[in-house]
Each structure stands twice: as structure tokens, then as C-alpha cells.
């Protein structure tokens, strides 16, 4: 019987293997392509949405509200009250800002959702391809085992089960049924 070669687990690896680096590069290229494909309007929306989700935005608004309340609530020499309590003008401005910012953030989220869907489709394609490749490898190993007279793998129920082609439609239907049944409990 041939000796089984064990990997050397004591070797410290400082750099990732070329395959890993290639995969990192491929993912980075996909993300770069996505960013480059944005329209000018998308880029503006991203800048605004990113800024409104920052601490600078919150602090800026707190300062603005504080100044607004001071100017309109306390007598400041040389400055007249332009929006006295209950600050109707401030309420109107903040409401308009909220509507516009909400729409911009939703637009960005919709675009990011479409991008996530594209990534999910890519993941599904890769997983389906990997499943077919692994099934083929198992089937090839079974043929090789039979040829070499190794019957244990041919009798192993898990190996036999894994060597069958997977039907995605059947799996998806079974998953939907399972999830639907959980929701009814």
C-alpha cells in the first residue's frame, strides 16, 4: 500500500498562496468595476449619503440647532429673532431635509441591494460549479477505488449519496417548504 503524504504543518507561511492572491485581486477588480460603473448622480448620492451617516453631520446639526435656539430664544444684541418659538421655520427646513436625505439614502440602498444581488448570483454560480466539480471528483474516485480493488468507499453510504448529481430545483423546493413550515409554527 502506498504511503500517505501528510502536509508539513510546521512551515510558517508568511504570504498567501498565489491562488488566494489571485482571488483577492479578482474580488478587488469586481468591486473597482462596480465603483467605476456608477453614474455621476450615483457618485453624488454616495457622497451625500456617506456624509449624512457620519459623526460630522450629527455634530454639525447639533451646533446648527444650538445656534438657532440661542439666536431665536435669547435676546442677542444686533440679531433679531427670525424664527421664534415654536421654531416653525426650523421644523419646515428639517422636515424638507429629512425627506430629501431619506430619498437619497434609499436610492443608495437600492443600488447597493442590486449590487448585492449580483454578488449573490455570482456566489450561486460558483457554488453550483463547485458542487458539480466535487460530485465529478467523487465519482472519479469511486471508479478508481473499484479499479484498485478498494471496496470500502463503494459501500460507504455517505460517499454514494454525495456522488449523486444534486438537483437545485429539488433542493430549493425543499428549502422553501421547510422555511414555510417554520413560519407556520
Domain residue limits, the chain: 18-52+86-184
Spatial separation of the C-alpha atoms in residues 128 and 130, rounded to whole Å: 5
Please check the confidence at residue 103 and state whether its pLDDT lies above 90. yes
Q: What are phi and psi of 5, to 5 degrees?
A: -85, 125
The predicted model scores a pTM of 0.69
What percentage of the chain exceeds 70 in pLDDT?
91
pLDDT digits (tens, 9 = 90+) for 44-99: 999 999 999 999 999 999 999 999 998 898 877 788 889 999 999 999 999 999 99
Cα 168-162-150 angle, rounded to 5 deg:
155
Q: What is the pLDDT of residue 79?
A: 82
Q: What is the mean pLDDT of the chain?
A: 88
pLDDT digits (tens, 9 = 90+) for 136-149: 999 998 889 888 88
5-19, 102-116, 148-162: which range is least confident on average? 5-19
Q: What is the pLDDT of residue 13?
A: 60
Nearest to 58 by CA among 3, 16, 5, 101: 101
Amino acid at each position: 500500500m502506498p504511503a500517505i503524504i501528510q502536509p508539513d504543518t510546521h512551515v510558517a507561511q508568511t504570504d498567501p498562496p498565489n491562488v488566494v492572491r489571485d482571488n483577492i485581486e479578482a474580488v478587488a477588480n469586481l468591486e473597482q468595476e462596480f465603483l467605476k460603473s456608477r453614474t455621476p448622480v450615483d457618485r453624488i448620492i454616495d457622497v451625500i449619503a456617506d456624509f449624512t451617516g457620519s459623526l460630522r453631520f450629527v455634530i454639525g446639526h447639533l451646533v446648527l440647532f444650538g445656534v438657532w435656539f440661542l439666536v431665536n430664544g435669547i435676546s442677542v444684541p444686533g440679531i433679531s429673532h427670525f424664527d421664534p418659538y415654536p421654531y416653525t421655520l426650523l421644523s419646515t427646513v428639517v422636515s424638507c431635509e429629512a425627506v430629501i436625505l431619506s430619498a437619497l439614502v434609499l436610492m443608495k440602498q437600492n443600488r447597493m441591494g442590486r449590487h448585492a444581488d449580483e454578488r449573490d448570483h455570482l456566489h450561486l454560480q460558483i457554488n453550483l460549479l463547485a458542487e458539480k466539480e466535487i460530485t465529478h471528483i467523487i465519482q472519479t474516485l469511486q471508479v478508481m477505488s473499484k479499479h484498485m480493488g478498494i471496496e470500502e468507499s463503494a459501500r460507504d453510504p455517505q460517499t454514494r449519496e454525495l456522488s449523486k448529481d444534486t438537483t437545485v430545483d429539488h433542493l430549493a423546493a425543499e428549502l422553501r417548504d421547510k422555511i414555510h413550515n417554520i413560519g407556520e409554527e
